[in-house]
Structure 1
Amino acid sequence: MATKEQILDMTPVGMRFTVLQTSADTQGKSLDLHWELLPSCNMKNPLIHVHPDAIETYEVLEGDMQFFVHDKWISAKTGDKLSVPKGIAHCFRNPTDKVVRLFNTHQPALKMENYFEDVCKVLDKVTSNRRKNFRMNFGTMLYMSVLMNNYRKEIIAKNPPDIAIKALGWIARKLGINY
């Protein structure tokens, strides 16, 4: 369970989150985060996904970035706000050479903080010492598929296709892979 001010370090994939308010702090109404997207974050194969039961909001606090919503990329700059309704495919990226800072919420919180903590666990398994050496190879895909299948109420992949995530998760479990 995440704690207030906890840093969720996902540097290998270009992100760092600081927990501002946990699900417990808001009685489950939201998970509030401060994000830092490192330069070139998500420029190759970003995870296009939906939150079937939650609204996600973003406020760009500093920098320029892009959001993918409704099958198109949208540019955003400091001060811009975006709300993504339940079930809408989206992702984000930082195409610049500067860190982008965001305020992010998931409403309701569901188990998103657990999901983010588990992403960190997977990154610990597939990288060495949290260095930026993340590669999406077959082994990494197996770990990520187990993770994604554990949080289907919170997040479902659209690209890569959900059917691939389900199949790889099944293979991973048969191989005894877990994080």
Structure 2
Amino acid sequence: MATKGQILDMTPVGMKFTVLQASADTLGKSLELHWELLPGCNMHDPLVHIHPDAIETYEILEGEMEFYIHDKWVPARQGDQLTVPKGVTHCFRNPTAKIVRVLNTHQPALHMENYFEDVCKVLDKVTDNRRKDFQMNLRTMLYMSVLMNKYRAEIIAKNPPDMAIKTLGWIAKRLGITY
């Protein structure tokens, strides 16, 4: 379980999150994060997804980025605020050469902080403790599929397709892949 002030370092995929308010701080009502998105974050194969039972909000504190919402890319810059309702397909990217800083919330928190902590664990496995470049390959897809299947109440992939995630997760479990 994440704690206030904890840093979730996902640098191999271009992100670093700081927990501002953990689920325990809000009695599960929300998870509040400060994001730093590195230049080029999510420019290749961003995880298009939904949150079936949570609302996600973003406030751009510094920089410019783009959000994929309702099947189109939408630019956002400092001062912009976006709300993604439950079940709406979305993702984000930083196509600029500068770091973007974002305030992000998930309401309710559900187990999103555990999901983000487990993303860090998967990155440790597939990047040799985050010391080598992240590569999307079959091994990485198997680990990510195990992760995504564990957190289906929090996040469901739309691209890659959910059926592919389910199938790869099943194969990974049979191969004994865990993180």
Give the TM-score normalised by structure 1: 0.99
Distance 2:141 2:31 in 1: 26
Q: 1:85 matched to which residue of 2?
A: 85
Alpha-carbon displacement from aligned partner over 1:60-87 (angstroms, at most 9, x marks no partner): 0000000000000000000000000000
Alpha-carbon displacement from aligned partner over 1:96-119 (angstroms, at most 9, x marks no partner): 010000000000000000000000
Q: 1:107 matched to which residue of 2?
A: 107
Q: CA RMSD in A?
A: 0.6
Distance apart, 1:41 and its partner CA: 0.1
Alignment of 1:1-179 (within 5 A): 1-131=1-131, 133-179=133-179
- The residue type paired with residue 2 of structure 1 is A
How many equivalent residue pairs? 179
Q: Residue 123 of structure 2 contacts residue 129 of structure 2 at CA under 8 Å; is this kept in 1?
A: no
Distance 1:132 1:75, change over 3 A: farther
Distance 2:57 2:3 in 1: 20
Distance 1:12 1:131 in 2: 8
Stretches of structure 2 that go unaligned for 5 or more consecutive residues are none
Stretches of structure 1 that go unaligned for 5 or more consecutive residues are none
List 4+ stretches of structure 1 deviating above 2 A. none
SS in structure 2 at match of 1:44: coil
- The residue type paired with residue 140 of structure 1 is T
Distance 2:116 2:129 in 1: 18
Distance apart, 1:128 and its partner CA: 2.5
SS in structure 1 at match of 2:164: helix
Alpha-carbon displacement from aligned partner over 1:113-136 (angstroms, at most 9, x marks no partner): 000000000000000242350001
